[in-house]
Amino acid sequence: MDYTMRQARDIIEDSVMNPLGNGQHRTIYLVGDPGIGKTSLARSVFMAHRKWDDHSLPLKDRKVINPNGFTHFIAYVAPEREPIDWGLPSVNKARDAFSMLPLDEFKFLPTDRPFILIDEVDKAPNMMQNLIARIANDRTVGNIVFPEGTFILMAGNKLTNKAGGFVANTHIKNRRTNVPLMVSPEEWIDDVAIPFELHSSVVSFIRVANDMLHKFDAGAPSFPSPRSVTKVGLMLNQTKSPHVERALIEGDCGVEWANSFWGHLRIFRSLRSPEMVIADPDNIEVPDGNDSMPILFAETTHLAKYVDRKNADAIFRYFNRLPGEFGFIGYRDVLKRDRLLVSGSPSGQRWLVKNATMIAATEAPAKD
């Protein structure tokens, strides 16, 4: 069974909050296609369980928000490092033996609680994988003994991706909990696209063709993935010349994806202005006909991003006229941005009451 990123987060957090005990630790190994957000997921879990409010500040200026939280986040990209990175040989005082001095990034106090992401494990050569196995199993490497509460998360690509991976030895596989991942377009829209305010054309395109969010192709110069589609969504928030825009879209997501998206982008840019809808939400024409679906997805997504306290009720009145699921999609997008925009509007209040059961069944925690 493959798990979505939300489900994977639940699995990681369960291991963070519920260690096995008796000196036993669980190391989660996230396995999935390149670009689906494994590293971002790790950082998100660290931030949710960090010790201080701002780890970038000097220690004296930090505020403790979780006394048992993580003190360090270390992203260790295995194939880019060497085994000696975990310690350098040094002669002892008696000059009769060597010991391994840890690098600064791995010098921890007994009171520290590091969160260590060992990324791209599948691309690490056998010697490095053996070292990583000891970290996962014993929480030690060389002379380094990790503090109690250290959490080790590993991530890598599927061997079927043909992304330059090595087959791990059996004893290494047995030291980690394998969690295979999948991509959920709905989760990406709710958890990435809306919070990061990606360009509405990209969000509505994925709604029209959700299979276009992720198409891994090891032989292509570039391919669509949650990571690369997010880059396009951020880029389109800026004004660029058409040839620069096209080149960046192709460079991030590939020619096939760019060709498909380009048509949707033309539809999006031909939409009537939000001000036209706001001026007469009860009577303005609602798109219909065989070709109306991409137009409705594009317009609804764009209007939801445009909602503010002044125009909310007008836009919600228009949403109430939309066929099928489109009005619900618009309302949910606004809920993800700011629930008060919905609850503060008469039309929004009525919609919340009418759809309370459906909202509870479909909505991830929204901003209050």
Give yes or no for residue 93 having a pLDDT over 50.
yes
Whether 227 maps to a domain, the answer reads: no
**Domain presence at residue 90:** yes
Model confidence at 225, in pLDDT bands (50, 70, 90)?
Answer: very high
- On average, the pLDDT of the chain sits at 89
Mean pLDDT of 120-149: 83
Task: Tell me if 38 is assigned to some domain.
Answer: yes
pTM recorded for the entire structure: 0.84
Query: What integer is the mean pLDDT of 63-70?
Result: 95
Q: State the pLDDT at residue 167.
A: 63
CA distances from 44 to 261, 315, 347 (A): 29, 33, 35
pLDDT at 23: 63
What distance lies between CA 358 and its chain's CA centroid? Answer: 25
Provide the pLDDT confidence category of residue 280 given band limits of 50, 70 and 90. very high
Task: Answer whether residue 301 is part of any domain.
Answer: no
Q: Which domain holds residue 51?
A: 5-180
131 band by pLDDT with thresholds 50, 70 and 90: confident
> Is residue 235, in this structure, part of any structural domain at all?
no
Checking if the pLDDT of 365 tops 60, the result is no
Whole-angstrom distance, CA of residue 1 vs CA of residue 347? 42
DSSP character for 224?
-
Who has greater pLDDT, 128 or 308? Answer: 308
Tell me whether residue 312 is in a domain.
no
Confidence of residue 366 (pLDDT cuts 50, 70, 90): very low
Tokens linked to 319: 């949403």
Does residue 107 lie within any of the structural domains? yes
Identify the pLDDT of residue 129. 82
pLDDT bracket for residue 118 (50, 70, 90)? very high
170 — pLDDT class (breaks 50, 70, 90):
low
pLDDT above 50: residue 367: no
The pLDDT of residue 236 is: 97
* pLDDT bucket at 368, cuts 50 / 70 / 90: very low
Query: Is 91 part of any domain?
Result: yes
Q: Which of 242, 287, 7 is nearest to 250 (CA)?
A: 242
190, burial (CB in 10 Å: exposed 0-12, middle 13-18, buried 19+) = buried
State how far the Cα of 60 lies from the Cα of 12, in Å rounded to an integer: 30
Percent of the chain, pLDDT > 70? 93
Whether the CA torsion 167, 168, 171, 175 is positive or negative: it is negative
Assess whether pLDDT exceeds 80 at residue 25: no
What is residue 294's predicted lDDT score, i.e. its pLDDT?
94
**The domain spanning residue 96 has which CATH number?**
3.40.50.300
pLDDT tens digits, one per residue of 181-220? 999 999 999 999 999 999 999 999 999 999 999 999 988 9
Domain count, the chain: 1
Identify whether the C-beta of residue 357 lies closer than 8 Å to the C-beta of residue 184. Answer: no
